[in-house]
Amino acid sequence: MHTYTFSQLTEETLKTLVTLNEKDIAPEVWEKMQIALTAEECRWLEELKSKLRHRHLLVMNEATLWARAIYPMLMLAERGNVQAWSSVPLKAIYPMFTLEGDADGALAPAIGGRIQPPYLIVHEAKRGLHAPDPLYQLCGEMLAAARLNWEKNPNPEQEIFGCYTVNDSWVFVRGVVSDIETDKPTFTLEFSPDYNGILDAEQIVQLLKFIVAKHLEEINDS
């Protein structure tokens, strides 16, 4: 059995591990995946946006951009025991391969202060002409999280959300992993439109809140 780190994954490698189905879905579908912000959240978000408008985000280093522009919005989606996390270690063993590495961030439950398998993975894209495509590293992280969730609750289809950020742009991905115990699982991906981290900040947080609420509802139903 071969072990792959997330940074090793390319489109070609991923397609040897899983049957990959990719599709766009209409923007209006994503627009319905929202939970309204409270008045306090709106005030907090407006303050964040006002600060970001006066920062040179394109030249910020990745750690600073994460701390100022990405993680604060993840925190606004916290609910119950679901928290925002940074530098999340993941390791998942499938029948024919192992995936491991650290995700940049996640929304995941906590028990006794310890992180549980995440339901949304966040990948901050590297910059530069020769930087790898962020999608395939995110896919590996989502696959790992889906497997870990399956080990706790073995539904035949595991839904998992992810997003990757490029500077202040966000792209969300909904994934469904099926045939998870077979030699070659099926991984179906649906992509959101691009969201601008300042202009579309409300929609981003509304979507994050929807994903968290959906996860908590599924846990309660099970």
Residue at token pair 């998992």: 160
Residue 59 CA: distances (Å) to CA of 124, 160, 194, 206: 15, 32, 20, 27
Summarised one tens digit per residue, pLDDT across range 31-50 is 899 999 999 999 999 998 88
Residues of the chain above pLDDT 70, percent = 95
Q: With 0-12 CB in 10 A as exposed, 13-18 as middle and 19+ as buried, what is 120?
A: buried
pLDDT at 147 over 90: yes
Summarised one tens digit per residue, pLDDT across range 12-32 is 999 999 999 998 778 888 989
Question: Tell me, what's the pLDDT at 130?
Answer: 60
Q: How far apart are CA 81 and CA 12, in angstroms?
A: 37
Question: Tell me, what's the pLDDT at 27?
Answer: 85
Say which residue, 139 or 167, is predicted with more confidence. Answer: 139
CA dihedral sign of residues 180, 84, 22, 125: negative
Element (H, E) at 147: helix 134-152
Question: Tell me, what's the pLDDT at 59?
Answer: 67
Q: Are 121 and 164 in contact (CB under 8 A)?
A: no
